[in-house]
Chains A and B, each alone.
Chain A
Amino acid sequence: MTVKEVADIIGASILTKQADTEKQVKEGYTCDLLSWVMAHGREGMAWTTVQTHMNVIAVASLHDMSCVIIPEGIRMEDDVVEKADEEGICVLSSSLTAFDICGRLAAAGIGAC
């Protein structure tokens, strides 16, 4: 499944402008502890988190994740979105809760690591 298809399933808008939305999503993950995600993140993940600061992009990028999903319409600062574009990480914004996002993605066939 591509990032674009993931966005459609969870009714998300894609905040990044240049990052490739045709990138494949291999699995899903949700966690707000960045240290934990550093230990458990994997390539091709779609990662849902309420954290929106710069280091989220660093963690996603170091793991070569496909996208970061921000739930509940939480705002991400423009400079963080710009950084995500630079690093080629798509950022999706959804009005759903993290719980709902994961439920819908799991129902659509995205597995966990």
Chain B
Amino acid sequence: MSILKEEFPVAAMDFVTAGEASAQIKRMLKKLGVDPGVIRRLAIACYEAEINLVIHSDGGKLMLELNPDNVTLISEDVGPGIPDIDLAMSEGYSTASDDVRMMGFGAGMGLANMARNADHFNIESIVGEGTKIEMVFDIK
């Protein structure tokens, strides 16, 4: 049974509040006494997922579940989807617009950074429908 379950909606192209959900998740896990190393990895992956929702989706949500042995984070969106996941996963590849790149995003590091920080990473996408990413962070 999970200790905690929370959902955080993320709006498309809202750069002002982008990062709020990640900051909130980080604070919650800190309060609950989760290992700081796990929180750090999760916060980084969570922020990447949140920024991806803002930049690339038509809106989505982050779902957090704290279990005794792990923390699961799911990012689910409605949007264009990813035609070639292997290509999207390769560092340096990005479809971000020039405006977004001017802000310092769109380096093509996001998905790879999520996979690197999570203990288990799974991504599924349907073109024209959306993308779902599931990440699990083990608590030692």
Contact = CB atoms under 8 A, between A and B. Distances in A.
Nearest to B109: A35
Given A54-B15, A55-B18, A35 B107 contact: yes
B109 A36 contact: yes
Interface residues of B, number: 25
Interface stretch (B19-27, B58-66, B79-87): B19-27
B43 A62 contact: yes
A39 B48 CA distance: 9
Interface string B46-64: 0110010000000000000
Contacts of B40: 43, 63-64
Contacts of A32: 104
Nearest to A42: B40
B139 interface: no
Interface in A10-62: 32-39, 43, 49, 51, 53-59, 61-62
Nearest to B96: A35
Contacts of B23: 58, 61-62, 87
Interface residues of A, number: 23
A53 B103 contact: yes
A49 B104 CA distance: 10
Interface string B94-112: 0000000001111111101
A79 to B, nearest CB: 9
Interface in B76-132: 103-110, 112-113, 116
A36 B16 CA distance: 20
Contacts of B15: 53-55
A13 B107 CA distance: 31
Contacts of A51: 103-104
B44 A38 contact: yes
A112 to B, nearest CB: 19
B100 to A, nearest CB: 10
A51 B108 CA distance: 18
Given A56-B104, A58-B20, 14 more contacts: A35-B105, A35-B110, A36-B109, A38-B113, A39-B109, A39-B112, A39-B113, A54-B15, A54-B18, A54-B19, A55-B18, A61-B19, A61-B23, A87-B23
15 contacts: A33-B104, A34-B103, A34-B104, A35-B105, A35-B113, A39-B109, A39-B116, A54-B18, A54-B19, A55-B15, A55-B105, A62-B43, A62-B47, A64-B40, A87-B23
